[in-house]
Amino acid sequence: MNEERRQILEMLSAGKITTDEADRLLAALGSQPVAGSAAASAEPAAKSPPKYLRVMVEDHSEDTGNGKTQVNIRVPMQLLRAGVRLASLIPQPALNHATQALHEQGVQLDLSQLKPKNLEELVDHLSDLTVDVDEENTKVRVFCE
């Protein structure tokens, strides 16, 4: 029993408050989190950063002909990070060439404006990504673990 509840019950036994008032006060206290558990409930337990990106595909459709098709890929996040750092090593003339080719295809994206920091942020936020595709015979799941 915490201190507030004890005080309310003492006030009730001393006749300072009526039973109705005590009931209301106790009910009000009941809606508040208990002091000891407040910190625990306020912040969810810190999640450990994901280590892998998983891609899982299951296809049971008849047109594959050979029965069930399964794809199970696990890519370490560290490898993804290294991959995006590799992108930052692409020489500027090559980036300009790629940007021009993208513009010709109608994609207005300037690759030279993509900084390693932006790409790393993208990888960091992959942990929030979950893709679930459920069809009659096909299941696709992309998630981090």
The reply to whether 118 sits near other proteins by the rule CB under 8 A is no
Between residues 36 and 67, which has the closer beta carbon with respect to other proteins? 67
Measured at the alpha carbon of residue 9, what is the angle toward residues 7 and 13, in degrees to the nearest 5? 115
66 touches other proteins by CB under 8 A? yes
Which position among 28, 35, 71, 109 is part of the footprint of other proteins (CB under 8 A)?
71
Distance (Å, whole) CA 127 – CA 79: 14
Q: Which stretch binds other proteins (CB under 8 A): 12-20, 23-31, 67-75, 130-138?
A: 67-75
Closest distance between other proteins and the C-beta of residue 145, in Å?
A: 11
Question: Quick one: how far is CA 59 from the chain centroid?
Answer: 27
Nearest to residue 52, comparing CAs of 27, 74, 68, 30? 74
**Euclidean distance between CA atoms 9 and 27, whole angstroms:** 13
**Interface residues with other proteins (CB under 8 A)?**
51-52, 64-76, 78-83, 85-86, 89, 91-92
